[in-house]
């Protein structure tokens, strides 16, 4: 199936028509994602009232809910502030595929009112499914890599996208150049967490190099080898957001305590920094 056909079939009846460029998105396009996050803020609901004799655990729950609401508001405000300078520039997330990266991508797309795509999913769909894509990679490595490049070529020609890019995006100079059509951010997640995720969800990594049926230690060992091959490509991203660093900054001893919203805020800050630098460079280039 042609990649252009797949992309168009994924985008019909957009909910954010006012924000889309008619030259890039036909009227028949729509959003491909359905966001599911832990954000609980709902402005239409009245605030909860608590009894005066509530227990300490109730106080803790209340504080947690308030913090979640505050972070939700802060994320929306930050995204609104960044959007003006972002001007529809697409965002490419690179790094080992994992649930943190995909959840982050969907939340970013929702905040910016962008479309969300997973490039590996598009490659799989073009090949006829995940099993077919893995078979293609094993039998025709060159053909598989060409499919990855075609996916990135199509996506990079469009605006207002958040793309979770597969490892093929950082494996050759052609693909790395295509990422320059947007902002690229390396989402650096500890390999131990990635390994656990892969064992629990086989679809997270489209890679014939990883033996999904292996034990945790075997999967981790294979991931470490794959990471060494990919690290140089990941490092070419415009910015890096490390889950471990975010946990440290927030005072979390357990990295599992870092929420999608926590890491999204760090990504928004990096995007804001990058757009400000670009704006300053453009201003400096103008004649007096």
Per residue in 151-210, pLDDT (tens digit) is 999 999 999 999 999 888 998 999 999 999 999 999 999 999 998 888 877 666 665 556
Q: What is the mean pLDDT of residues 125-132?
A: 82
Residue 211 confidence class, pLDDT cut points 50, 70, 90 = low
What residues does 183 pair with on adjacent strands?
A: 91
**Closest to 40 (Cα-Cα) out of 201, 269, 285, 260:** 260
**Closest to 168 (Cα-Cα) out of 240, 219, 243, 234:** 234
Q: What's the pLDDT at 67?
A: 63
Please provide the size of the chain in residues.
288
Q: What's the pLDDT at 132?
A: 82
Weakest mean pLDDT among 11-15, 135-139, 178-182, 221-225: 11-15
**Do strands 115-118 and 91-94 pair parallel, antiparallel, or not at all (unpaired)?**
unpaired
In degrees, to the nearest 5, what angle opens at C-alpha 271 toward C-alphas 37 and 282?
Answer: 155
Residue 2 confidence class, pLDDT cut points 50, 70, 90 = low
pLDDT digits (tens, 9 = 90+) for 240-267: 999 999 999 999 999 999 999 999 999 9
Angle of helix 141-156 versus helix 130-139 axis, rounded to 10? 120
Alpha-carbon distance 269 to 109, whole Å? 15
For the chain, what is the mean pLDDT? 78
Give how far Cα 145 sits from Cα of 29, 62, 169, 201, 212, Å: 27, 50, 9, 24, 21
SS3 162: strand
Domains annotated for the chain, with CATH where assigned, are: 89-238 (3.40.50.300)
């Amino acid at each position: 199936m042609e990649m252009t056909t797949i992309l168009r079939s994924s985008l019909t009846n957009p909910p954010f028509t006012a924000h889309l460029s008619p030259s890039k998105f036909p009227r028949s396009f729509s959003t491909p994602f359905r966001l599911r996050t832990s954000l609980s803020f709902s402005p239409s609901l009245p605030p909860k009232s608590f009894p005066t004799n509530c227990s300490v655990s109730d106080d803790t729950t209340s504080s947690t809910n308030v913090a979640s609401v505050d972070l939700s508001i802060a994320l929306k405000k930050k995204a609104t502030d960044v959007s003006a300078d972002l001007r529809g520039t697409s965002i490419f997330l690179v790094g080992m595929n994992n649930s943190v990266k995909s959840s982050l991508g969907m939340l970013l797309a929702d905040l910016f009112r962008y479309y969300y795509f997973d490039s590996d999913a598009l490659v799989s769909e073009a090949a006829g499914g995940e099993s077919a894509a893995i078979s293609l990679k094993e039998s025709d490595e060159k053909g598989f890599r060409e499919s990855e490049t075609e996916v990135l070529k199509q996506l990079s020609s469009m605006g207002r996208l958040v793309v979770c890019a597969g490892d093929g995006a950082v494996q050759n100079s052609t693909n790395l150049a295509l990422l320059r059509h947007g902002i690229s951010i390396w989402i650096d997640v500890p390999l131990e967490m990635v390994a656990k995720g892969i064992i629990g969800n086989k679809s997270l990594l489209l890679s014939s190099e990883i033996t999904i049926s292996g034990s945790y230690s075997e999967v981790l060992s294979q991931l470490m080898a794959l990471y060494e091959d990919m690290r140089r490509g990941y490092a070419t991203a415009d910015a890096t957001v490390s889950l471990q660093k975010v946990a440290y900054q927030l005072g979390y001893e357990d990295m599992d305590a870092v929420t999608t919203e926590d890491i999204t805020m760090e990504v928004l800050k990096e995007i804001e920094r990058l757009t400000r630098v670009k704006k300053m460079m453009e201003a400096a280039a103008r004649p007096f």
